[in-house]
């Protein structure tokens, strides 16, 4: 009855041809002459209840939107989050490989393959008509809308590093060989928006790899075994394409064993507009997990996947998405951040990650050290590649990195020394600090300092050796008592960390290519120390210190400390307590390092601010008297993110992490605590206060939840439309959108507030997630990915795991109301003011032409147009294109209805109110359809028809199409 009344109320004015002046007056159900029964509802009830609650929520929502937009635009990252990439230059040249044509791949007309050569460094790409290939093949895969030219920075660095004999001598690779960089030209395809496009690229590249290897077979003077595999470097979605390649039928088995990705969204799709993308992610992940679950597969024994992300500066793709921990074990790869990588120490944005000077030097070294020209595979073994990756791409403080150091294998690495090698030594007691500086070096009589390790190490709860120095190579030996003196030099365990001295503000100031030398450190825990009996530390000489350090006596130092006391403090402070009261920390320089673990601070959605100053007491030394300036290492256990905060005194340090994030799989057995390691000069006492950093929190919310601004309004509009239908069923009047929304807020506002707040903790419950998954008709997002490995994620609602952050739902709800109010206001202004004013200023002939319009529900022309459009969807265009056309028709319909209403000087009627609500719904749904249309138009522009199988669903648009074309 209600549906019939709705359709009748909307279409009756169109059929009414008797009295045009009342054609669009209010529609009343039943007989107009019959007395209307007494109703509980009246349209005036809605309008009367609109102003207070509606205006309050609208204004508050608009303020929230403006605040977040302003913060996102004008808030600058500082300190450890400030961009510090250095400029670069290169002399690129590209040779298009035209021989790779339709004979080898059906996609040759759409895509192309190039060979990179660095001018004046590499051989020319061509010798006559033949390619000159004498290196190891590397294939660069660009990302979403990326260019093949993005390969030039890394390729140039590899060429320059290889041809420089001094630098090449430092490579840990006796079988190193230059690299032949191939790169794919995808015509700047939008891979992130369309699964079919991603499959096209993966299929093309598999054919390209087969062709590349055939080129080496045809090279007459190739000096090494013919390559059987290609090293893959993928940027952004190119990294996902690389993983998809191994799942396709045309993949050459064994042709890919080493994959390096830069800012690639492995953990989740960055956009979910296309169902094919989600299906492709699911199938690819299932294939990889299945292959890696067996120890005897090629994947388990050969495939390495290393994911590098730029961290907080990557505003295009949240860095959380680059995690690979749910896909592979640490035996096959890991995720690292550019702030973690030694001598890079800077966040990098999404595009700069392929050209940043510091990072490209590390990547070039990594690629060259991983190669092995003597083998057909052209790469070292899996274990050797991961050892190189751990050395170059991790800070070295991680347990995962130290577990593979030489110190952990004394039986294999101990060397014998003469008995009198360490005869001239002095003994340092446990918990005392060895402090050698340029100024006291002449007073240091002994050549070595011996530190005896406790005989009952296993019963010692906390034991850690820490060394910090400005020396380039400190000499430290780990020794065992035996018939012969046996020791291991700790050269392999020397870590490079940023220099923290006066005048240095950023970690990158002592990175690659800078004149300022970084600090060195050694950090060894109980698990390794228990394998040895004592340590020997060599006294440095004046020549070991730099000339500047010799002049500045406070600059050159060597500090060492063995502690059996706890330098580890656990804090149980919660985000809500920091929000209300803050947290004050007191730190002393009695040791070298003091670690504070915040077990309850793990949510990536919250950012913090740390204000550090010297404690006001008579015991602390001043900053000018310190051997170095205090600094902080911020880190988490997994993924391997480290940040170095320098120049911390009397500064607001911004603390942000990529830890437990929305929609990202999580290993529930791993510690997720935020860790802060304070490095404090001897004799200095610090006081630090931690508070919430609201500006950074809001900025990061916008980065992670940009798509929520499209999905939330659709839900609210659907709610309003349902309430309008309900109201019409009872009153025969279709109320305006804004008035209905205001009435809902007035009547059900408290319920909506509780729903928006409690939805997050409700859907974070595992039982609720199982129920939601069973009710999901698509079933692409399974929350319990790897139950046996305790891997779990939260795909529902906002993906929030902490009840404190559940207020985000309320924030987004308020912003949605403000956004809808703003859009409704604009539409009303354009319809009621602009168009009516234009009509009033028109001539009588124009007004009369409006009066004589007699629309029909469906004329033959419109019916034919609708059918033709649906046929186009079935055979050619995606249904999203028809949706946009429907939106245009709906806009025209609203204009026409508004003009007719203005010409008759009548109040807004059911037809106008219904069409305006429908227009708002189409506007926001169209925002989701636009990316697919971009892909379609891009393919039309390059004269290529990419499969849109999932987008020819006529039923997806037919109802709204017929509904709007009236």
Which residues are registered as beta bridge partners of 558? 436, 469
DSSP string, 642-671: EEEE-S-BTEEEEE---SB-TT--EETTS-
Q: Which two tokens stand for residue 773?
A: 């998954």
Q: Give the C-alpha separation, 103 to 618, whole Å.
A: 82
Residue 450 is given by DSSP the state E
Smallest Cα–Cα separation from 565: which of 399, 687, 429? 429
Residues 6+ apart with CB under 8 A from 233: 138, 139, 140, 141, 151, 154, 260, 261, 262, 363, 367
Smallest Cα–Cα separation from 347: which of 572, 594, 641, 651? 641
Does residue 639 have a cis bond before it (omega within 30 degrees)? Answer: yes
Grouping H, G, I as helix, E, B as strand and the rest as coil, residue 792 is: strand
Q: Are 627 and 613 in contact (CB under 8 A)?
A: no
Residues 6+ apart with CB under 8 A from 154: 140, 181, 233, 354, 360, 363, 364, 367
Question: 217-224: long-range contacts at Cβ-Cβ below 8 A with a sequence spacing of 24 or more?
Answer: 219/131, 219/133, 219/134, 221/134, 222/133, 222/134, 223/134, 224/177, 224/373, 224/374
Q: Are 816 and 712 in contact (CB under 8 A)?
A: yes
Which residues are registered as beta bridge partners of 614? 686
Q: Give the C-alpha separation, 657 to 912, whole Å.
A: 50
Rg (CA), the chain: 34
Q: Where are the alpha helices (DSSP H) in 790-948?
A: 807-828, 836-840, 844-851, 860-875, 879-904, 910-941
Smallest Cα–Cα separation from 575: which of 668, 662, 693, 677? 693
Extended strands (E) in 6-147: 92-96, 112-118, 126-127, 130-131, 136-141
Q: Give the C-alpha separation, 875 to 871, whole Å.
A: 6
Which residues are registered as beta bridge partners of 876? none
> Euclidean distance between the first and final Cα of the chain, in Å?
22
Residues 6+ apart with CB under 8 A from 135: 177, 178, 179, 180
Q: Give the C-alpha separation, 918 to 913, whole Å.
A: 9
255 is catalytic: no
- Sign of the C-alpha dihedral computed for residues 22, 23, 28 and 30 taken in this order: positive
3-class SS string, 513-537: CCCCCCEEEEEEEHHHHCCCCEEEE
Q: How many CA atoms lie within 13 A of 769 on its CB side?
A: 21
Q: Are 146 and 240 in contact (CB under 8 A)?
A: no
Q: Give the C-alpha separation, 254 to 302, whole Å.
A: 9
Which residues are registered as beta bridge partners of 92? 118
CA angle 839, 843, 847 (to 5 degrees): 55
CA angle 316, 322, 324 (to 5 degrees): 165
Q: Are strands 519-525 and 464-469 parallel, antiparallel or unpaired?
A: antiparallel
Which of the following is catalytic: 58, 156, 236, 607? 236
Q: Are strands 304-309 and 258-262 parallel, antiparallel or unpaired?
A: parallel
Query: What does the chain come to in residues?
Result: 966
Which residues are registered as beta bridge partners of 131? 126
**Residues forming the active site:** 236
């Amino acid at each position: 009855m209600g549906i019939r009344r709705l359709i009748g109320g909307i279409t009756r004015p169109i059929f009414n041809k008797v009295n045009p002046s009342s054609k669009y007056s209010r529609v009343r159900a039943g007989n107009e002459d019959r007395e209307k029964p007494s109703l509980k509802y009246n349209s005036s009830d809605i309008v009367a209840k609109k102003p207070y609650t509606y205006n309050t929520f609208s204004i508050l929502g608009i303020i929230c939107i403006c605040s977040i937009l302003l913060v996102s635009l004008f808030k600058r990252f500082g300190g450890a989050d400030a961009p510090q990439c250095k400029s670069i230059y290169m002399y690129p040249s590209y040779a298009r490989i035209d021989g790779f044509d339709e004979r080898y791949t059906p996609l040759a007309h759409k895509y192309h393959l190039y060979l990179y050569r660095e001018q004046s460094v590499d051989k020319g790409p061509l010798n006559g008509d033949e390619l000159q290939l004498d290196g190891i093949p590397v294939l660069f895969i660009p990302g979403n809308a990326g260019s093949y030219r993005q390969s030039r920075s890394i390729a140039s660095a590899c060429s320059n590093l290889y041809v420089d004999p001094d630098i090449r001598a430092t490579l840990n690779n006796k079988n190193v060989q230059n690299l032949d960089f191939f790169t794919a030209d995808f015509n700047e395809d939008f891979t992130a928006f369309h699964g079919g496009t991603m499959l096209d690229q993966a299929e093309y590249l598999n054919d390209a790899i087969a062709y590349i290897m055939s080129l080496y077979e045809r090279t007459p003077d190739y000096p090494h075994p013919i390559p059987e595999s290609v090293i893959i470097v993928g940027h952004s979605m190119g990294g996902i394409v690389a993983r998809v390649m191994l799942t396709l039928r045309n993949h050459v088995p064994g042709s890919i064993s080493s994959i390096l990705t830069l800012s690639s969204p492995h953990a989740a799709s960055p956009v979910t507009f296309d169902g094919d993308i989600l299906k492709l992610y699911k199938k690819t992940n299932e294939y990889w997990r299945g292959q890696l679950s067996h120890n005897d597969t090629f994947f388990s024994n050969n495939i390495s996947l290393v994911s590098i992300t730029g961290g907080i500066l990557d505003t295009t793709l949240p860095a959380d998405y680059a995690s690979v921990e749910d896909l592979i074990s640490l035996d096959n790869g890991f995720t690292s951040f550019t702030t973690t990588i030694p001598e890079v120490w800077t966040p990098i944005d999404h595009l700069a990650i392929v050209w940043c000077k510091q990072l490209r030097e590390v990547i070039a070294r990594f690629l060259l050290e991983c190669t092995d020209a003597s083998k057909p595979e052209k790469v070292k073994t899996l274990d050797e590649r991961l050892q190189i990756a751990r050395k170059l791409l991790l800070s070295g403080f991680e347990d995962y990195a130290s577990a593979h150091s030489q110190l952990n294998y004394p039986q294999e690495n101990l060397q014998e020394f003469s008995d009198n090698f360490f005869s001239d030594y002095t003994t340092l007691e446990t918990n005392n600090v060895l402090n050698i500086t340029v100024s006291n070096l002449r007073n240091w009589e002994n050549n070595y300092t011996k530190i005896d390790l406790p005989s009952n190490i296993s019963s010692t709860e906390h034991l850690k050796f820490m060394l910090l120095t400005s020396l380039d190579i400190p000499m430290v030996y780990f020794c065992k008592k035996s018939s012969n003196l046996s020791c291991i030099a700790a050269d392999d365990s020397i870590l490079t960390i940023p220099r923290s001295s006066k005048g240095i503000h950023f970690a990158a100031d002592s990175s690659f290519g800078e004149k300022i030398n970084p600090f060195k450190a050694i950090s060894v825990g109980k698990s390794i120390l228990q394998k040895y009996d004592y340590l020997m530390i060599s006294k440095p000489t004046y020549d070991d210190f730099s000339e500047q350090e010799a002049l500045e006596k406070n600059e050159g130092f060597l500090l060492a400390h063995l502690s059996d006391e706890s330098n580890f403090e656990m804090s149980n402070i919660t985000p809500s307590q920091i929000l209300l009261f803050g947290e004050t920390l007191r730190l002393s320089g009695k040791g070298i390092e003091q670690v504070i673990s915040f077990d309850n601070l793990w949510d990536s959605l919250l950012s913090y601010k740390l204000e550090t100053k010297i404690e006001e007491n008579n015991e602390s030394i001043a900053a000018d008297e310190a051997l170095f300036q205090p600094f902080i290492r911020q880190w988490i256990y997994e993924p391997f993110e480290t940040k170095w905060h320098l120049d911390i005194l009397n500064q607001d340090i911004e603390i942000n992490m990529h830890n437990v994030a929305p929609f990202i799989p999580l290993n529930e057995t791993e510690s997720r605590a935020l860790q802060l390691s304070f490095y404090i000069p001897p004799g200095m006492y610090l006081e630090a206060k931690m508070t919430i950093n609201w500006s950074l929190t809001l900025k990061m919310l916008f980065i992670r939840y940009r798509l929520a601004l499209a999905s939330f309004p659709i839900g609210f509009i659907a709610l309003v439309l349902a309430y309008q239908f309900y109201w019409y069923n009872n009153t025969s009047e279709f109320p305006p959108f804004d008035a209905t929304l205001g009435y809902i807020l007035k009547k059900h506002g408290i319920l909506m507030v509780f729903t928006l707040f409690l939805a997050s903790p409700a859907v974070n419950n595992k039982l609720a997630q199982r129920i939601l998954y069973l009710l999901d008709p698509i079933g692409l997002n399974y929350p319990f990915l790897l139950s046996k490995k305790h891997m779990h994620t939260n795909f529902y609602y906002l993906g929030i795991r902490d009840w404190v952050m559940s207020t985000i739902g309320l924030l987004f709800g308020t912003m949605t109301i403000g956004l809808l109010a703003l859009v409704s206001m604009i539409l009303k202004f354009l319809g009621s003011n602009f168009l009516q004013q234009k009509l009033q200023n028109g001539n009588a002939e124009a007004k009369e032409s409006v009066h004589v319009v007699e629309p029909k529900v469906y004329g033959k022309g419109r019916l034919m147009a609708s059918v033709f459009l649906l046929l186009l969807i079935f055979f050619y265009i995606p249904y999203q294109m028809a949706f946009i056309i429907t939106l245009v028709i709906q806009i025209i319909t609203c204009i026409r209805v508004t003009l007719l209403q203005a010409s008759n000087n009548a109040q807004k009627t059911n037809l106008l109110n219904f069409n305006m609500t429908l227009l708002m719904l189409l506007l926001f749904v169209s925002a989701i359809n636009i990316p697919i249309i971009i892909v379609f138009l891009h393919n039309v522009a390059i004269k290529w028809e990419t499969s849109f199988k999932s987008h020819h669903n006529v039923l997806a648009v037919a109802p709204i199409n017929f509904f709007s074309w009236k």
